[in-house]
Structures are given as structure tokens and as C-alpha cells.
């Protein structure tokens, strides 16, 4: 029995609001057994790096059993660990160590589809009358034998594949080996929510929901309308993909999803302090859907769309435009922003191909991301300023890139192994002979050992700025108020209670000047930037920033 002087600290149910979440792609983080593929024990061994960086949580991409046709996003067993990544007991050990280091653990939840090797699908495709016959999206062919409608797969071609056993088509929004679940069936929903409970009982603190707006399809299987060329946007799929030629109003984004998300949230609420973030993949209605999914306090805590993951150049106008659009579309909602992840070109390359001082640029972008209103995802290697790797066709693993090469090179360039030691074999990622993807020399030169403790390095800037962020709660949970854009200078205030913090960023390679807003301002230190104040004028160096608190 606890002594009367001892108290049990209640878990913070609001921990996710303004949290900094570090994304781990497990194949590429740390290999502990020398097979060239990262694993759970490797992640556990590297958790001190994440703790020292100052992240609040980790998000681990899928580690479940899988034939790896889509490298884990084709799940064949939702309640186990693939042997290449380890065991359930090793996952339990990872959670225990993360919690010891005060790091929350979020895992990827892939429930819009499964692998075609999942036991559920094997039973479903065995006949039209088995107990799971309606667990996936099946449909008869048209009289001429063609697919039921014009829906397209993100990975190219029709979203329908013919099954000779059932003599029907099944739907797949992604690879043909990734059949879509039929969430119109209440039994499917119940089974998926049991998966959620399984991982919550093992101690996870939350989930990242893959392709959250793909859960439901139109029951009538109506054709998607064509999308006018001027409205096509390549943020959901590469520009060479005909997926962009349709307005996806029937194969995803269905209103029935709102009720399921309420059921999902009710399961989260059975456990203390659990949070989830949803990936909304849509080029036309992304922010609108985020608003729907995060409204009312009874669905998702937070979602992200692709505005900052798109190829569009990040400018002062663009940052303000996205935040204003989010505020209009989701006045009750909360975003989780990221500049990079496992699916897109690393942002230092995507936006900074012509930038001479990549380190200064990377530090500026980090500071902009970490002062946005919303939670933040950092993708592994981002803290090192890693660029997109150039992978030869012979070394490609990603089926997406193989399908559309060379116009689209796939996602392998952002998935190469983490670089820990510039002097070690395979950069300290593995003690084996070969990594699953090549490690570029230019990445090895930016390894953790090269940057650790080095004043002015990108990694030390991330550490310093995350500490600076923690000193000012307005960054995590405050409102945002933009100043008029002045040339290449981005300016806004973050406001929480009595604290107002001014943020000014020079988003150019040339010096710039900005005027202080009215009022008394006290310059802040500890963020890693230098600037010169002349009366009420702030002189910002190239890629420079200035921060002040309202006195």
C-alpha cells in the first residue's frame, strides 16, 4: 500500500497536443543481428538518441508479419511481429525502455486493406458463401467481363483484380496483393477494433492510421468522375500516374467513415491517455477531410494531409496559406505537420535542390516546422539533414518506383538506412555484409558521430531548438497569428495565455530586414540563430530567424 505522502501522477490525456513525434522506419533504423534489415532490438538500442534529441513520442512504421510486397504495409497478421523484426516479447521490451525514457510509443495501424496472404482473405476468396465471404470488397464483372467500374489503383492500373476461384473481382487501392477490407460489414469493424485493443493492452500509447480516408467505398460502385486537368495535383500520386485524372469521391472519402471513427475513438477511450493521428491522402479535399475527422472531440485527436509533403515549394506565402486554409477547414481540429516521411522525397532535396548552404536551410526549415500550430512529426535522418538518396534501378526495392521508373523513382530514396558512425561498416547501421538498401557516401559523412556535440551542426540545432520549444508552451499548444508576408520574411506570433512569442524567418539566401510589430519585445536566446536588432528593425542573415517575447 502506498504511504499517504505518495501520490500517483495521473496520465496526461492531452500529451499529444503539440507533441513532437519521431517516425521510425524499422527496416532502416538499426540492425541488431547482421541480416542487413533493421529490427525492434535495434530500435530499443537507439532510443537514447531519440530521448537526447528531445522528442516526446515515436511512431514505428509496420513491423507485423508480412510478405513484404509493400514492405510491411501489406499485413498478413495484425497481432504479431514479423520474425525479421523480432518477437512480441522484444516489442514489450521496446515499450518498457521507451517508457523508462519518458517516450510515448505509437504504432502504424493498417486496416483499410491487408495482404492477400492474410488468413481472413484466404478464407474470403475460398468461396462466395464462407463466413468471411463479405469481409473484403468483391463485385461481379460487367457483362463484357471488364471490372465493375473505373476506379484506379494508386500503384497504377485498375483498382480491381480478377479472382478465378470466386469468379469475381476484388478491390485493391494499392497493390493487387493488398485487397481492401469491407468496413461496411460490422463483423469486420469488430475484428479490427479487437486488433486495436490487442496493442493497447500491450502498452502502446497511440496509433498512426494509414490511409484513414480509404476505409469505405461506395456501396453502389459508382464511377468516379473525371478531374479537370487544371485541378490535378501530384501530391497524392506522382504526376505520371493516371490516378490523378479522377476525382475520388466514390472509392474513398465516404461519409460512413465518420461513424466508424467514433467507434474507434470509443475504444481508445477505454484506456488512459491514448491518442491517434490519421493520414489523409487526398489532393482536392485533404484539409476539409482533416476537419471532419478531428471535429467534435469524438473521432481522431489529430490528422495530417499532404500540404507540406507535396512538391510545392515552401515559401512564406505557402506556410501562411496552408495554416489559414486549415483554420478555415478545421476550426475545431488539430493538425500533425511533417515535411518528410517514408513516402516522399526528403524535404531538403524536394525544396532545396538549388540551395548552396544546405545546413542553414535544413536548420531554418526545422525551426519553421517546430513552431507551427499543431503537433509535429520528424522523420528519421531529418535531424541529420539527410538528402534524398539516388538509388540505381538495379537496387530498387519499392514496387511503386519499379512500376513508374524512370519518371518516378519510387520511395527508396528516402528509406535508406540511418547513418550512425562515419567510420563503421555500413555506417553503424549493421554489422553484416550488406544493407537492404545502399547507404550513400554523402549520408555517411553526415552520421551522428560526425555531428554530435558539434556546434552549428544540423543535429545539434534540432536538439537545441527542441529544448527551446519546451521552454515556451505557446509553441506546443498556443494559437497562431500571422503577420503580413514581407518579401521572403515569414512572420507570426504564437499565443498562449499571457505568453506571446514572435517568430521571424528569412526564407531566402540573401539578407533581409523585418520590422518589429507594435509593442515592447524582448529578444529570446537559446534557439541557435543570430540576428542584429537596429531600433525596431531586425536584420536577418540568409536563412536566419529571430524570436522575441512580448514584454
Total residues found in the chain within this entry: 551
Kindly list the distances between the CA atom of residue 209 and the CA atoms of 3, 62, 293, 512, 537, in Å, as whole numbers in the listed order. Answer: 41, 11, 12, 41, 45
DSSP code, position 412? G
Q: What is the Cα–Cα distance from 178 to 208, expressed in whole angstroms?
A: 19
The pair phi, psi for residue 336, each rounded to 5°, is -125, 110
Distance linking the first and last C-alpha atoms of the chain: 48
Q: Give the Å distances, CA to CA, from 76 to 24, 67, 165, 293, 510.
A: 21, 7, 20, 27, 52
Task: Using alpha carbons only, give the angle 118, 153, 172 rounded to the nearest 5 degrees.
Answer: 25
Please report how the helices 286-293 and 257-268 are oriented relative to each other, as an axis angle in degrees rounded to 10: 50
Helix (H) or strand (E) holding 19: none
Q: How far is 323 from 305, CA to CA, in rounded Å?
A: 12
Residue 528, Ramachandran bin (φ over 0: left; ψ between -120 and 50: alpha; else beta): left
Return the C-alpha torsion angle 277, 279, 280, 286, nearest 10: 70
Residue 352, helix vs strand vs coil: helix
448 Cβ partners below 8 Å, 6+ apart?
Answer: 49, 384, 419, 420, 421, 428, 459
For residues 364, 370, 372 and 378, what is the CA-based torsion angle, rounded to 10 degrees? 100
Q: Which residues are catalytic?
A: 210, 270
Segment holding 288, helix H or strand E: helix 286-293
Q: Compute the distance between CA of residue 426 and CA of residue 434 in angstroms, rounded to an integer.
A: 7
Cell of 222: 459508382
Q: Is 182 helix (H, G, I), strand (E, B) or coil?
A: coil
Closest CA to 289 of 213, 368, 376, 203: 213
Q: How far, rounded to the nearest angstrom, does the alpha carbon of residue 454 sit from its chain's CA centroid?
A: 29
Amino acid at each position: 500500500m502506498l504511504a499517504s505522502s505518495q501520490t500517483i501522477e495521473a496520465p496526461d490525456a492531452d500529451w499529444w497536443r503539440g507533441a513532437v513525434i519521431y517516425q521510425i522506419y524499422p527496416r532502416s533504423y538499426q540492425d541488431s543481428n547482421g541480416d542487413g534489415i533493421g529490427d525492434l532490438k535495434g530500435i530499443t538500442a537507439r532510443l537514447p538518441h531519440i530521448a537526447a534529441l528531445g522528442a516526446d513520442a515515436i511512431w514505428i512504421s509496420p513491423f507485423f508479419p508480412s510478405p513484404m510486397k509493400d514492405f510491411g504495409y501489406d499485413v498478413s497478421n495484425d497481432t504479431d511481429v514479423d520474425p525479421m523484426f523480432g518477437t512480441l516479447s522484444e516489442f514489450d521490451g521496446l515499450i518498457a525502455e521507451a517508457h523508462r525514457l519518458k517516450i510515448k510509443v505509437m504504432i502504424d495501424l493498417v486496416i483499410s486493406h491487408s495482404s492477400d496472404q492474410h488468413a481472413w482473405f484466404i478464407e474470403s476468396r475460398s468461396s462466395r458463401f464462407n463466413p468471411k465471404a463479405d469481409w473484403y470488397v468483391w463485385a461481379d464483372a460487367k457483362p463484357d467481363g471488364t471490372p465493375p467500374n473505373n476506379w484506379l489503383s494508386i500503384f497504377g492500373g485498375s483498382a480491381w483484380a480478377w479472382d478465378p476461384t470466386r469468379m469475381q473481382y476484388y478491390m485493391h487501392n494499392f497493390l493487387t496483393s493488398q485487397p481492401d477490407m469491407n468496413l461496411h460489414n460490422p463483423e469486420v469493424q469488430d475484428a479490427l477494433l479487437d486488433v486495436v485493443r490487442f496493442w493497447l493492452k500491450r502498452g502502446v500509447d497511440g496509433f498512426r492510421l494509414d490511409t484513414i480516408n480509404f476505409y469505405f467505398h461506395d456501396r453502389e460502385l459508382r464511377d468516379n468522375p473525371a478531374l479537370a486537368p487544371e485541378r490535378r495535383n501530384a501530391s497524392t500520386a506522382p504526376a505520371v500516374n493516371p490516378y490523378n485524372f479522377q476525382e475520388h469521391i466514390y472509392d474513398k472519402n465516404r461519409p460512413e467513415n465518420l461513424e466508424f471513427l467514433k467507434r474507434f475513438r470509443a475504444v481508445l477511450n477505454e484506456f488512459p491517455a491514448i491518442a491517434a493521428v490519421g493520414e489523409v491522402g487526398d489532393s482536392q479535399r485533404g484539409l476539409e477531410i482533416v476537419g471532419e475527422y478531428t471535429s467534435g472531440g469524438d473521432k481522431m485527436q489529430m490528422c495530417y494531409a499532404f500540404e507540406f509533403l507535396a512538391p510545392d515549394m515552401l515559401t512564406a506565402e505557402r506556410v501562411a496559406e496552408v495554416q489559414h486554409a486549415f483554420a478555415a477547414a478545421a476550426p475545431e481540429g488539430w493538425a500533425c505537420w511533417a515535411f518528410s516521411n517514408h513516402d516522399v522525397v526528403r524535404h531538403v532535396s524536394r525544396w532545396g535542390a538549388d540551395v548552396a548552404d544546405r545546413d542553414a536551410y535544413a536548420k531554418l526549415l526545422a525551426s519553421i516546422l517546430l513552431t507551427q500550430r499543431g503537433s509535429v512529426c520528424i522523420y528519421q535522418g531529418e535531424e541529420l539533414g539527410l538528402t534524398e538518396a539516388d538509388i540505381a534501378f538495379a537496387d530498387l526495392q519499392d514496387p511503386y518506383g519499379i512500376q513508374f521508373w524512370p519518371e518516378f523513382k519510387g520511395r527508396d530514396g528516402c528509406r535508406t538506412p540511418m547513418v550512425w558512425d562515419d567510420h563503421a561498416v555500413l555506417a553503424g547501421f549493421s554489422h553484416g555484409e550488406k544493407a537492404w538498401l545502399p547507404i550513400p557516401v554523402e549520408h555517411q559523412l553526415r552520421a551522428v558521430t560526425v555531428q554530435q556535440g558539434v556546434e552549428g551542426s544540423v543535429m545539434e540545432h534540432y536538439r537545441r531548438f527542441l529544448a527551446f520549444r519546451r521552454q515556451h508552451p505557446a509553441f506546443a499548444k498556443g494559437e497562431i497569428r500571422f503577420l503580413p508576408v514581407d518579401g521572403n520574411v515569414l512572420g507570426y506570433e504564437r499565443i498562449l495565455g499571457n505568453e506571446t512569442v514572435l517568430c521571424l524567418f528569412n526564407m531566402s539566401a540573401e539578407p533581409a530586414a523585418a520590422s518589429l510589430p507594435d509593442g515592447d519585445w524582448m529578444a529570446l536566446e537559446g534557439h541557435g540563430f543570430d540576428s542584429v536588432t537596429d531600433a525596431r528593425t531586425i536584420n536577418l542573415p540568409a536563412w536566419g530567424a529571430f524570436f522575441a517575447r512580448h514584454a
